[in-house]
Structure 1
Amino acid sequence: MMQPSNLNTNFLPSPNCNSIHRCKDSSARQSPDISYVYQVSQENTTSSSGSQVDRGVSGSIPRHNSQDIIEDSTATTSVDNEPEELGFLPVLKNRNFLALWSGQVFSQLADKVYLVLMIAIISSRFQASNQSISGWVSAIMMAFTIPAVLFGSVAGVFVDRWSKKAVLVVTNLLRGGLVLAIPVLLWMTQDWNAVGSLPTGFAILLALSFLVSTLTQFFAPAEQAAIPLIVERRHLLSANSLYTTTMMALVVVGFAVGEPLLAIADAVTMQFGSEIGKELVVGGSYAIAGCLLMLLKTGEKERRFEQESPHVWQDLRDGFQYLGKNHRIRTALIQLVILFSIFAALAVLAVRMAEVIPGLKSSQFGFLLAAGGVGIAAGATLLGQYGQRFAAIQLSLYGSMGIAGCLIGLAIFTENLLLVLLLITLLGGFASLVAIPMQTAIQKETSPEMRGKIFGLQNNVINIALTLPLALAGVAETFIGLQAVFLSLAAAAIAGGILTWYICRTET
């Protein structure tokens, strides 16, 4: 689809236009013919400009009149004559991004500790003394996965129609309320008969997990769509780097401190004769995130749609057609799917690696995965500081080649603990060179009125893609061996990098 005429949408700079300073004059000469109007918030940008948005695929994308205004910082192409600030500093000066970022910290911390909470409740209430907990935990994980597959794309359609701020606030407050309701619901149903073969209390946990995950499907695309609304286009790479660094840090922190944190909370509430500390920590984190996000100002104006029910399936078709027309978004999405598939397979293969490495047990595979998280966080930090100097396609190609090299190294040095830890750490760093520029490219290239649909489709496709490696990696390792699987993943990484480079070079 044709992009707004006054937007510099190329995430691969052309030889004659390497920076926004050199392109601004030519882009500013375009005269706006407005069908959508994007008004730039003075809090986030220093100038504003009208933009023309393509009328959509066969006229099927919802149209608004000129009174429907969305403030969007990505519409800005002109910049001050002052030297441009790079790195994290200009992003951290943005009060709206700080509100979104702080909300992300509490929300994602609650997401990570939620599973620890479920395991704690299961082990204390439902697991028999001689019974494995794996079956109980697998059921909870299934309750989380199903909404991602069913509602990921549909949620994005509604996010486009609703206020991003409202979605972020309401989903966090509702998730907090559901978690805080767990002790009450378990107490009320403790004497109820089993639902089929399941204890009633566990059936309630499954239902609540399903609802929490469903709300998360709305929260995720709204969060991604809000970032380009509050961050200037030239700072999106730094914002996404900080976002990714925080996410990976919370993965490590959440799983590492989750159990002792919940134990301390229970010990505190026990002094008052109650054991609701665990639920207060998780539910309270969601609630705090919702309150912090109330401070967010996305600059969205009220959008007046015709009084009709949402055309969900038509909007989904619009999203797929938009992907079909925009090769850069589609290519970036393919790269992300390949990357997440590799990491999903690595999560399964890490168990086998821990089993064959001398001095490690299979239950200690988390140390190997933590090394990857450290690498991603380190790579994202460096990328946020210095990544603006490079084209996104260069970073993606270098990252793909680096990932392939690390996977080949893992195939060779499978039983050497120090080299395996080093290679997985490097693999995480190279992965950040692919994930962050590609996510930034999707944000830059997607028109504001299509972001919810595209990010919803992205979450849905990635969640579906993750299930295949999780199911097939272990089987493939059994039949063809660990080394052969790593080499196959390396080939996939190389193919993804070359495909992205080729498509973007031929279209630029």
Structure 2
Amino acid sequence: MFPTEPAAVNNGFGALLKNRGFMLLWIGQLVSQLADKVFFLMLVDLVVDKNSIYLPPLGVGKESMYPILMVAFTIPAVLFGSAGGVFVDRIPKKLIMVGSDILRGLLVIGLAFLPRNFHILLLITFGVSTITQFFAPAEQAAIPLLVRREGLIAANALFTSTMMGALIVGFLLGDPLLSLAETGIAKEYGPELVVALLYLFSAVIMLPIHFREKKSASEAQGDRIDLWADFKEGLRYLKKNRLVLNAMLQTTVLYCVFAALMVLALPLAEKFGLQGKQSGRFIAAVGIGIVIGAGILGHLGDKTHHKPLPLMGFLGMALILALVPFTNSQGIAIGFCVLLGVSGSLIGVPMQTLIQQQTPPIMHGKVFGFQNHAVNIALSAPLAITGWLNQEFGLRIVLIAMSLVVAVVGVWTWRNTRNVLQDVL
């Protein structure tokens, strides 16, 4: 199942750096994530900027164009999150990841040669988001094929930290990168060219990766793909395997909290007299905390075995969420956000590792497809209701309520799976 990997006593980052296949996957997904962030900013630039050449269609106001694009970007995540995982179990993972990057690159570069019509932009956005639903589960299913079981904690720590790093760096460098692209020789389609090249570069990086998958698509389950039957098979597996289901629940709750914080960062900034655009510093602080926590876990590797990491993470998050609304110092609030990110890494990294360890290779795609679907919903639902809750009840009440929910979920999931988790974590 596993490729030849340099033997190492240290199962932390040191062993991973010597694993060529994993490093190519890591660098490739990092470039792909940067492309995702820059694509997101490019959409803002194309329809929100006052000099935008995309005119609103009849009956649609200019201020509604961006929200409509975000709906087009979100719908595939909700509709196709699980379906992508079904194909991951039947089609070579390398083909899915490389092919997804190439297709997204071609779709984005196509914008430069198609009429500047909002409906076309809407279709391209929908297409890019749909293809992404295949890339994400394939990426997660690929990690256990390249890394030995004892190295998965470090591998997931590295992926988690770079995911947040890409989020921070992508939004930090995306704007100047797009501005630079608009001043070059191909300034009329410079932004599209930059995003497309990032996707294509990611595909080139991952081309040399060799996966030793247990069976090919045709050998494993036949040529015919029955999405509904595979969906039910994945659901039955999760119902039988409470450990994986609980781990997925915990990661879903974690993403719910982070999504709600993206909305609450604005009233939190207003509390300290900051402008709305400065609210990003609180989100960035959470990201930095996740990077720090994931780095620590990755460095320690198997030394964290038998430690109640997820319970510590949930209780830490609950305590911090309860303390944040009572602080009057911006510096202390940012420090709390960093600690919130560290606590979140104690949940996300070990739970993702557990899902990879406990799921048989033949079920990887279905399980990671379900997880991708759950996470997409977890990111979307809080964005829809958190703002309303803040207006109705205020920032302090909402954060305290979140604290109680997080504590209850953490204690409940730990009590349900404590005996088994102590053996596998």
**TM-score interval (norm. to shorter):** over 0.9
In structure 1, what is the equivalent of residue 382 of structure 2? 469
Instruction: Say which of 82, 88, 97 aligns to 2:13.
Output: 88
Residue 291 of structure 2 contacts residue 342 of structure 2 at CA under 8 Å; is this kept in 1?
A: yes
Quick one: distance in 2 between partners of 1:501 and 1:248? 26
Q: Deviations over 1:453-482 (max 9, x none)?
A: 000001111211222211111111122221
In structure 1, what is the equivalent of residue 311 of structure 2? 397
Alignment root-mean-square deviation, CA: 1.9
TM-score by length of 1: 0.78
Instruction: Say which of 24, 43, 60 aligns to 1:118.
Output: 43
| Counterparts in 2 of 1:361 and 1:127: CA distance versus 1, 3 Å | farther
In structure 2, what is the equivalent of residue 202 of structure 1? 118
Quick one: distance in 2 between partners of 1:176 and 1:246? 22
| 1:334 is aligned to 2:249 | yes
3-state SS in 1 of match to 2:10: coil
Residue 392 of structure 1 contacts residue 438 of structure 1 at CA under 8 Å; is this kept in 2?
A: no
Residue 86 of structure 2 contacts residue 227 of structure 2 at CA under 8 Å; is this kept in 1?
A: yes
1:309 Cα deviation from its structure 2 partner: 2.3
| Counterparts in 2 of 1:307 and 1:257: CA distance versus 1, 3 Å | closer
Instruction: Say which of 141, 166, 169 aligns to 1:225.
Output: 141
More deviation, 444-453/463-472: 463-472
Quick one: distance in 1 between partners of 2:83 and 2:348? 24
Quick one: distance in 2 between partners of 1:392 and 1:284? 44
1:428 Cα deviation from its structure 2 partner: 0.8
Query: Structure 2: which amino acid aligns with 1:176?
Result: G
In structure 1, what is the equivalent of residue 293 of structure 2? 379
3-state SS in 1 of match to 2:385: helix
| 1:152-171 equivalence runs, <5 A | 152-171=81-100
| 1:49-448 equivalence runs, <5 A | 84-122=9-47, 123=49, 124-126=52-54, 134-185=63-114, 189-190=115-116, 201-270=117-186, 274-300=187-213, 301-305=215-219, 309-358=224-273, 360-391=274-305, 394-413=308-327, 415-448=328-361
Q: Deviations over 1:26-64 (max 9, x none)?
A: xxxxxxxxxxxxx443x2377xxxxxxxxxxxxxxxxxx
Query: Structure 1: which amino acid aligns with 2:37?
Result: K
Higher helix share: 2
Query: Structure 1: which amino acid aligns with 2:241?
Result: N
Residue 12 of structure 2 contacts residue 299 of structure 2 at CA under 8 Å; is this kept in 1?
A: yes
| Counterparts in 2 of 1:345 and 1:101: CA distance versus 1, 3 Å | same
1:202 Cα deviation from its structure 2 partner: 1.1
| 1:26-41 equivalence runs, <5 A | 39-41=1-3
3-state SS in 2 of match to 1:268: coil
TM-score by length of 2: 0.93
Quick one: distance in 2 between partners of 1:324 and 1:394? 24
3-state SS in 2 of match to 1:269: coil
Quick one: distance in 2 between partners of 1:135 and 1:299? 48
Quick one: distance in 1 between partners of 2:320 and 2:162? 24
Point out 4+ residue stretches in structure 1 off by more than 6 angstroms.
Answer: none
In structure 2, what is the equivalent of residue 486 of structure 1? 399
Quick one: distance in 2 between partners of 1:354 and 1:458? 32
Quick one: distance in 2 between partners of 1:297 and 1:474? 46
3-state SS in 1 of match to 2:112: helix
| Counterparts in 2 of 1:307 and 1:485: CA distance versus 1, 3 Å | closer
1:397 Cα deviation from its structure 2 partner: 0.9
Q: Which runs of 5+ in 1 are unaligned?
A: 1-38, 47-82, 191-200
1:324 Cα deviation from its structure 2 partner: 0.6
In structure 2, what is the equivalent of residue 498 of structure 1? 411
Query: Structure 2: which amino acid aligns with 1:419?
Result: I
1:328 Cα deviation from its structure 2 partner: 0.8
Give % identity.
Answer: 41
| Counterparts in 2 of 1:506 and 1:233: CA distance versus 1, 3 Å | closer
3-state SS in 2 of match to 1:408: helix
Query: Structure 2: which amino acid aligns with 1:137?
Result: Y
1:95 Cα deviation from its structure 2 partner: 0.4
Question: Alignment length, in residue pairs?
Answer: 413
Larger Rg belongs to: 1
1:421 Cα deviation from its structure 2 partner: 0.7
Residue 289 of structure 2 contacts residue 342 of structure 2 at CA under 8 Å; is this kept in 1?
A: yes
Q: Deviations over 1:85-126 (max 9, x none)?
A: 132010111000011011112100000000111122222213
| Counterparts in 2 of 1:133 and 1:103: CA distance versus 1, 3 Å | farther
Q: Deviations over 1:250-278 (max 9, x none)?
A: 111111111111111222225xxx52221
